[in-house]
A and B are shown apart, each in its own frame.
Chain A
């Protein structure tokens, strides 16, 4: 019998910490339940970003979310990187450390994208053995997220939920269930998102993500640049029911609006914790405007200079 959420608390409704919101957060101390940081933006920082994080970590619970672990790669694990993750996790009292079920590069290179792995027994063994190494090193369970993906492989022999279930059973790692990613991938790969959720081992889910995406006509791209659309909220209702309540975080990474807008968006989750319908009508999905549509992740911290 596994404890729900691997024993982690339900932190409530949180927001992804972005540098444009630093001044607002430091000044207003908004009543947000918790923050998730992009680990790579802080593990090497010796300037303003890290200084601000330290101040924020004094008031709010922090969770670390990475994009460079590359757990599915055949390159060796980067222990220097892991060392920095572990150090920052200790210093900010990070409640847990997460990354994605993906690979980011091979042959010493980093594409800075979250590339999917073929879902079969071979990759499962490979990923599980690396998860165990990472968990031994970090001395805590790793939490892994289902990424949005745009291809599937001829060599895949199982569904993503089968892979995730087997992975968490073998390693006791946690799951970060990105509800928007389930939806994006379901459209891109022609599966039923409710069937996917129906097979998720909810007691292993530590956290979930919500975000907006872009509709490109023939497929969806996970752009994190807008509000959560109604079908994703409906899936969230299902996740809430299945988990019995879960730390929920909104990611907004492009065309980032003022903090209040981002915060208000994640607070809408309350409406789906009961059987209420949203009062402001359903949100329809953003159409691609023909401008560059970039999937997450894209993170850059602009320097302050005089």
Chain B
């Protein structure tokens, strides 16, 4: 570094980060355009930046950081997506992850964010843009669904919850005067999430966790509600119609609105729909999906 009379820490850090996070290894990293922009050096003159030790060359020493970089982050992704890692097998999972880490390097102080773009990365890089139209391969959708499920489980586990706060009881819904019913708004608990899948990945996930070594399932739509009770994530399969209702409820629409629109779309006779609704309210309150029910006009909250 004799050519640099002025010591430049930013330059050194930029260079070192490029080199140790280069997917092709330290030497390829040193030779890369990005690194050469900072320090125009050949790999064999690395000692101008990094000293050697009695036992190791400069390259070997810097290589310790290079090896650790991907190994650490891969390990973290494997722990975030255990079922996906199982579905893909170690080798493919590592390959996908390596690509992912290059496209979406961590920008957060927390490792918890690391997998945040994994599902969208799989979507963006799906290999089957053409075949997809002709329905030839469907495994990318399976992988995307599985990554989405696992990511959401992790978010619900450590995100906001209502532990210690009573959730909405069915009696509170039943106590709403009939004339107010249609204006009422159901407020979901902060952990409630609903997910729509093309594959039954929730069943697959259960089988995986029970160590039943599941095979990739045939496609079938599956709808899942996630929420957290007593700090444990609960997964509940819901009907397509329930999903549509919850989708609108989560948007903050009034119950009158929600029911009218979903009933019309679903082409279910109204009496049958009313009966289903009753069952679902029961199911939802038992599963502690909601925290309150209130009417915006009357400013009365029945919670």
Contact = CB atoms under 8 A, between A and B. Distances in A.
A153 B51 contact: yes
A48 B17 CA distance: 34
Interface stretch (A167-175, A192-200, A280-288, A291-299): A291-299
A109 B9 contact: no
Interface residues of B, number: 59
Interface in B28-64: 47-51, 53-56, 58, 60-62, 64
Nearest to B159: A46
A294 B10 contact: no
A48 B228 CA distance: 10
A110 B106 contact: yes
Interface stretch (B65-73, B212-220, B295-303): B65-73
Contacts of A122: 7, 9
Interface stretch (B75-83, B177-185, B238-246, B257-265): B75-83
A153 B12 contact: yes
Nearest to B190: A46
Contacts of B71: 292, 294
A47 B157 contact: yes
A150 interface: yes
A129 interface: no
Interface stretch (A73-81, A135-143, A270-278): A73-81
Given A154-B47, A300-B111, A294 B72 contact: yes
A40 B110 contact: yes
A108 B10 CA distance: 12
B112 interface: yes
B9 A108 contact: no
Interface string A53-77: 0000000000000001000011000
A169 B71 CA distance: 37
Nearest to A221: B64
Contact of A218 (B51, B55, B76, B110): B55
Contacts of A154: 1, 47-51
Contacts of A118: 7, 9, 12
Given A47-B157, A122-B9, A305-B153, A106 B17 contact: yes
B68 A126 contact: no
A117 interface: yes
A304 B233 contact: yes
A227 B203 CA distance: 41
A299 B109 CA distance: 12
B232 interface: yes
A109 B50 contact: no
B13 interface: yes
B50 A303 contact: no
Contact of A106 (B1, B14, B50, B76): B14
B13 A303 contact: no
Contacts of A120: 7
A299 B111 contact: yes
Contact of A47 (B10, B58, B158, B234): B158
Contact of A305 (B49, B110, B235): B235
A112 interface: yes
DSSP class of A's interface residues: helix, strand, loop or mixed? loop
B221 interface: no
A138 B231 CA distance: 31
A48 B157 contact: yes
A12 interface: no
Contacts of B64: 150-151, 219, 221, 295
B50 A152 contact: yes
Contacts of B267: none
Contacts of B73: 112
Contact of A44 (B20, B61, B112, B232): B112
B272 interface: no
A190 interface: yes
B159 to A, nearest CB: 6
Contact of A151 (B14, B48, B51, B76): B51
B72 A51 contact: no
A229 B119 CA distance: 43
A103 interface: yes
A298 B76 contact: yes
A151 B21 contact: no
Contacts of A117: 9
A112 B111 contact: yes
Contacts of B14: 106-107
Contacts of A33: none
A51 B158 CA distance: 10
Interface string B134-174: 00000000000000000001101111110100000000000
12 contacts: A44-B112, A47-B157, A105-B17, A113-B69, A152-B51, A152-B53, A153-B50, A153-B51, A154-B48, A294-B68, A299-B111, A306-B235
Closest 8 CB pairs of A and B: A303-B157, A68-B109, A48-B231, A74-B10, A218-B55, A305-B233, A150-B64, A106-B13
Interface of B: 1, 7, 9-10, 12-14, 16-17, 20-21, 47-51, 53-56, 58, 60-62, 64-65, 68-69, 71-73, 75-76, 79-80, 105-112, 153-154, 156-161, 163, 209, 228, 231-235
Given A150-B64, A154-B47, 13 more contacts: A40-B110, A44-B112, A49-B158, A51-B231, A105-B106, A106-B14, A111-B17, A118-B12, A189-B53, A295-B68, A302-B79, A305-B209, A305-B233
